[in-house]
Amino acid sequence: MSQYIYHCQDCNKEFTHQHHMADAGKVEVACPHCGSKLVHQLVAAFSAVTPKKS
Ligand SMILES: [Zn+2]
């Protein structure tokens, strides 16, 4: 499972969405803020990144 960052062109907000890499480009991602599907992917961040606080 990878986490992707999307930007909504309708409300100009960014949000993250998780889906399998195999589904990249196939899944329909809708903005959680306004429900628009006019979103585009900014970067893909692997969920293996686990910030640790010491
Ligand atoms: Zn939106």
Q: Look up the CATH number of the domain holding residue 6.
A: 2.20.28
Q: Is residue 36 part of a domain?
A: yes
Q: Is residue 11 part of a domain?
A: yes
Q: Tell me the residue range of the domain where 13 lies.
A: 2-46
Instruction: Report the number of distinct structural domains present in the chain.
Output: 1
Q: How confident is the model at residue 14 (pLDDT cuts 50, 70, 90)?
A: very high
Q: How far does residue 16's CA lie from ligand 1's centre (Å)? A: 12
Tally Cβ neighbours within 10 Å of residue 45.
12
Q: How far does residue 23's CA lie from ligand 1's centre (Å)? A: 21
Q: How far does residue 50's CA lie from ligand 1's centre (Å)? A: 27
Q: Is residue 54 part of a domain?
A: no
Per-residue pLDDT reduced to its tens digit, 19-32:
887 776 677 899 99
Q: What pTM value is reported for the model?
A: 0.67
Q: Give the whole-angstrom CA distance, residue 20 versus residue 1.
A: 5
Tally Cβ neighbours within 10 Å of residue 46.
9
Report whether pLDDT(52) > 60: yes
* Range picked from 3-12, 18-27, 36-45 for highest mean pLDDT: 3-12
Q: How far does residue 38's CA lie from ligand 1's centre (Å)? A: 8
Q: Is residue 53 part of a domain?
A: no
